[in-house]
Amino acid sequence: MNRSTSLLLNFGHALDHLVLLVFASAVTSIAADFGVGRWEDLMPYAAGAFVMFGVGSIPVGRLGDLWGRRPMMLVFFFGTAASCALVALTQTPLQLAVALSVLGAFAAIYHPVGIPMLLSSAERPGIVIGWNNLAGNMGIAVAALLTGLAVKYLGWRGAFLLPAALSFVLGWLFWIKAPLETEAPSKRPRAKTTVDRSAMARALVVMTVAATSGSLLFNFTTNGNTELMRERLAEITSDPASLGFLLAIIYAVAAFSQVIVGSLIDRVRMKPLFLGIVVSQVLLLSVSAHAHGWWLFFLALGFMASIFAAIPFIDAVVVRYVDDQMRSRVTGIRIAIAFGISGIAVYLLGPIVKGAGFDTLLTAMAGIACITFLTVLWLPSESPPPQSSSQPG
């Protein structure tokens, strides 16, 4: 894989997270435009995007393995561009829900197709995963900043048209730069492996449960942080651009935790490292439930860093236990389960905050992190990965 293709795949990850979170960053403005009294009442209309993001991962993962990853990535870029433009054209909450669901279906392509494509020739998968996840979460930071500025100067429709144009340009570059595949991944020779089948099954169960609980935390925070900041930083600022900037700082700084963790995955045992990160989630979320002002800002930076830091482990388990022939299908099934269930978080976010407040939500999230901790205890123990001086592929 050439460097330009790797770079475009990383940009694709940033785009994937960006487009899914524009709505959450602009929901207050959209609610006002559509005549909906409270942002919490409009939030359930976005649930379809995340359900499709999960459920759609199964067929697109299968197509990635059987048809080819390059053509599926082209569908991702151009389909995302078209669906973002479609969202910008909606006039009612129902139209918005349908358009967001279409966007979620195209966004579903990236994780089961783009990440296995990137990792197919990686000699140090941990650090490659770390940088790729950094790119993805930079997309979250850009979504907060770009949407805040766009809503202020262009309106919420402009906040969707900008990523539509970006996705089209990235798709055009990918079409030019990405080399043609000689054969689909499913037709390639199977690599020899010494992994015990029972350990593989156990690891995949842990991966799926941990991915589901981690996705719940991810969806609750990334979709709720804008309104959390608006409520608890009210004495500091209420300007949407300023709030977007502060949130972008949180996401950008926290995202670097994934590069650190990705590098450590190549060098140390995964299980104790993962457990330590999950413990920090429990502590930070519990304290944040009662924090306001700058205290909440710095605690949010901490809990987002711990939530982001847990993400590379799931892809690392797939690389360690699953052959490249079927990684897109396995990843697709895992994402379908995790995001299909965690899509409920987007639906419930508004009603929970409206009925019980952010303190209850943050406490519940600490409880979800406890479930992750108990699950990771069942992860098979392994020897430290071999040291390598090779550069990432």
- Domain assignment of residue 183, yes or no: no
DSSP 179: P
Give the CATH number for residue 347. Answer: 1.20.1250.20
- Domain assignment of residue 299, yes or no: yes
- Domain assignment of residue 233, yes or no: yes
How many domains does the chain contain in total?
Answer: 1
Tens-digit pLDDT string for the chain (393 aa): 678 888 999 999 999 988 988 888 888 888 988 888 787 788 888 888 888 887 888 888 888 777 888 899 999 999 999 999 999 999 999 999 999 999 999 999 998 888 888 877 767 777 788 888 888 878 877 777 788 788 888 889 999 999 999 999 999 999 999 888 766 666 665 555 555 667 677 777 888 888 888 888 988 887 788 888 888 888 888 787 788 888 888 888 888 888 888 888 878 888 888 899 999 999 999 999 999 989 999 999 999 999 988 888 877 777 777 766 676 777 777 777 777 676 677 677 778 888 888 888 899 999 999 998 998 888 776 655 544 444 443
CA atoms of 173 and 64, how far apart (whole Å): 20
CA atoms of 6 and 114, how far apart (whole Å): 10
Single out the residue of 39, 55, 35, 159 nearest to residue 101, CA to CA.
Answer: 55
Single out the residue of 230, 183, 251 nearest to residue 29, CA to CA.
Answer: 230
- Domain assignment of residue 389, yes or no: no
pTM of the complete model: 0.69
Q: Residue 137 sits in which domain range?
A: 3-176+195-376
- Domain assignment of residue 206, yes or no: yes
Single out the residue of 318, 237, 365 nearest to residue 61, CA to CA.
Answer: 318
- Domain assignment of residue 236, yes or no: yes
Contact in structure between 338 and 217 (CB atoms under 8 Å): no
- Render pLDDT for 44-81 as a digit per residue (tens, 0 to 9): 888 888 888 878 888 888 887 778 888 999 999 999 99
- Domain assignment of residue 49, yes or no: yes
- Domain assignment of residue 345, yes or no: yes
